[in-house]
Amino acid sequence: MDYVDQVLSQLKEKNASEPEFIQAATEVLNTLRPVIAQHPEYQKAKLLERLIEPERIITFRVPWIDDKGEIQVNRGFRVQFNSAIGPYKGGLRFHPTVNQGILKFLGFEQIFKNSLTGLPIGGGKGGSDFDPKGKSDAEIMRFCQSFMTELFKYVGADEDVPAGDIGVGGREIGFLYGQYKRLTGLYEGVLTGKGLTYGGSLTRTEATGFGLVYITNEALKAHGKSFEGKRVVISGSGNVAIYAAEKATALGATVVAMCDSNGYIYDANGVNLPVIHDIKEVRRARIKEYIKEVPSAEYHEGCSGIWTIPCDIALPCATQNEINEDSAKKLIENGCWLLAEGANMPSTLEAQEVYKKAGIIFLPAKAANAGGVGVSALEMSQNSLRLSWTFEEVDARLQGIMKSIFANISAAAKEYGENEDDYVTGANVAGFLKVATAMMAQGIV
């Protein structure tokens, strides 16, 4: 058995109850084979064994009192996966499906994504099985305060810097920041995605969605194409989806469908984004409401139907494994020729095989959604400098980051991939090499 196979078999045995983590790590390790073959010293240093083991996982109780006076208990986590190239950095997810395996997959992906940004940030992820849906602002605040009352011991501006993810946006970051400041007395950049009046960065709200469209645009240009006149399907209607839709529309595309976890809307005229913004961001309501405002559109229950809509470009921006083999086949049968991942690991391994066989342009999450954490790192820089850059300045830097990620993954695809468009191998290898070099330099830690 070669080294990668040995580590894969150990990974499966040791993490049998964590299928999403096995999925994420299997994809990465399989694509690293040519690099591992070039570096026998990695095996001697047990580099892969160390890479797949988080440096630390913190699990804690989060008790809080709901509006009826009842005591609720949730589980909180922070996975501090890898600090070889910088302090742990990655979002917090509040969703009932959160468990250790989900956060390990997200933390593992974050290591390589953060490396690809070119900025000095390590990989981490955290969150809770708390469900923010239907909770009052006061309940959200009490939950966030309780969560931070435990987490504050393990985070800090130079140690571990959380941010948002599913279920964690500006409101939650504000409550978490207030409690951190109260407990530590420190006014420091311990979180990113902060409000603009207390250390947040312009463009962070838009960054993941905009970055996704910027890198997709780079891939389109490299293939002699553009967004102009293309039909785009975007899953989700949260932070990433909304700003991806906005930028794709600005570049001349028509976004024909979006969804939430209940169902999807189809609007052949192009989704009306102010209406979506009002429903999802202001009212925190269901996407079904859209047809009340735009009666010519259609609403269908269930989210997987969104992948049956004919499109040129698909941008999955909701959650992991939202596209399985069948959905991937339907997308391609109906004309999709480019897929870029705004969500983390939205495509199953089987779906990725379908893309590969069909030869569509495929931009994997680590590269495609790195704009969010990239601007988070710029927020950290601004906090350290005690300065705020303009929207235009941060947006220009974000465009620079996405351009350089595309150039780096293209170069690594040419050198190590199955073909020059093998951006999966390109992203994994380019992200890995910097982390591996840093780990080798720092000894057995």
Nearer to ligand NDP among residue 32 and residue 303 (C-beta): 303
Residue 45 zone, left/alpha/beta (φ > 0; ψ -120 to 50; rest): alpha
Of ligand NDP, ligand 2IT, none, which one sits near residue 18, judging by CB under 5 to 8 A according to partner kind? Answer: none
Nearer to ligand NDP among residue 241 and residue 398 (C-beta): 241
Nearer to ligand NDP among residue 303 and residue 439 (C-beta): 303
Active-site residue, selected from the candidate residues 89, 104, 113, 125: 125
d(CA 398, CA 210): 9
Nearer to ligand NDP among residue 76 and residue 107 (C-beta): 107
d(CA 382, CA 265): 39
Out of 36, 52, 89, 432, which residue is the one contacting ligand 2IT (CB under 6 A)?
89
Question: Which residues lie closer than 8 Å to 316 by C-beta, 6 or more apart?
Answer: 234, 235, 236, 322, 323, 339, 341, 342, 343, 346, 347
DSSP helix/strand/coil, 251: coil
Nearer to ligand 2IT among residue 220 and residue 367 (C-beta): 367
d(CA 107, CA 104): 5
- Tell me which residue of 296, 308, 251 sits closest to 272, measured CA to CA: 296
Of ligand 2IT, ligand NDP, none, which one sits near residue 192, judging by CB under 5 to 8 A according to partner kind? Answer: ligand 2IT
Out of 373, 412, 413, 424, which residue is the one contacting ligand 2IT (CB under 6 A)?
373
Shortest Å distance, C-beta 337 to ligand NDP:
23
DSSP H or E run through 91: strand 88-94
185, with CB counted inside 10 A (0-12, 13-18, 19+), is: exposed
Of ligand NDP, ligand 2IT, none, which one sits near residue 236, judging by CB under 5 to 8 A according to partner kind? Answer: ligand NDP
Out of 90, 174, 346, 426, which residue is the one contacting ligand 2IT (CB under 6 A)?
90
Which contacts qualify for 331-338: CB closer than 8 Å, 24 or more apart?
331/307, 332/358, 332/360, 334/308, 334/309, 334/310, 335/310, 335/311, 336/233, 336/310, 336/311, 336/312, 336/360, 337/312, 337/313, 337/361, 338/216, 338/219, 338/220, 338/312, 338/313, 338/314, 338/362, 338/363
Based on the shown chain and the rule CB under 6 A, indicate whether residue 192 belongs to the binding site for ligand 2IT. Answer: yes
Site of interaction with ligand NDP (CB under 6 A): 164-167, 169, 208, 236-241, 260-262, 303, 317-319, 342-344, 369, 372
- Indicate if 434 belongs to the active site: no
Based on the shown chain and the rule CB under 6 A, indicate whether residue 117 belongs to the binding site for ligand 2IT. Answer: no
Based on the shown chain and the rule CB under 6 A, indicate whether residue 165 belongs to the binding site for ligand 2IT. Answer: yes
Nearer to ligand 2IT among residue 257 and residue 373 (C-beta): 373
Of ligand NDP, ligand 2IT, none, which one sits near residue 127, judging by CB under 5 to 8 A according to partner kind? Answer: none
Based on the shown chain and the rule CB under 6 A, indicate whether residue 363 belongs to the binding site for ligand 2IT. Answer: no
d(CA 173, CA 176): 5
Of ligand NDP, ligand 2IT, none, which one sits near residue 178, judging by CB under 5 to 8 A according to partner kind? Answer: none
DSSP helix/strand/coil, 356: helix
Residue nearest to ligand 2IT (CB): 91
Of ligand NDP, ligand 2IT, none, which one sits near residue 89, judging by CB under 5 to 8 A according to partner kind? Answer: ligand 2IT
Of ligand NDP, ligand 2IT, none, which one sits near residue 328, judging by CB under 5 to 8 A according to partner kind? Answer: none
Based on the shown chain and the rule CB under 6 A, indicate whether residue 402 belongs to the binding site for ligand 2IT. Answer: no
Residue nearest to ligand NDP (CB): 238
State the CB neighbour count (10 A cutoff) for residue 58.
16
Edge-to-edge strands of the sheet including 160-163? 56-65, 71-82, 122-128, 88-94, 160-163
Based on the shown chain and the rule CB under 6 A, indicate whether residue 372 belongs to the binding site for ligand 2IT. Answer: yes
Nearer to ligand NDP among residue 202 and residue 317 (C-beta): 317
Out of 62, 163, 331, 332, which residue is the one contacting ligand 2IT (CB under 6 A)?
163
Question: Which residues lie closer than 8 Å to 142 by C-beta, 6 or more apart?
Answer: 64, 65
Nearest-10 Cα torsion for 48, 49, 50, 54: 110
Shortest Å distance, C-beta 181 to ligand NDP:
22
Binding site for ligand 2IT (CB under 6 A): 89-91, 113, 163, 165, 192, 344, 372-373, 376
List the catalytic residues: 125
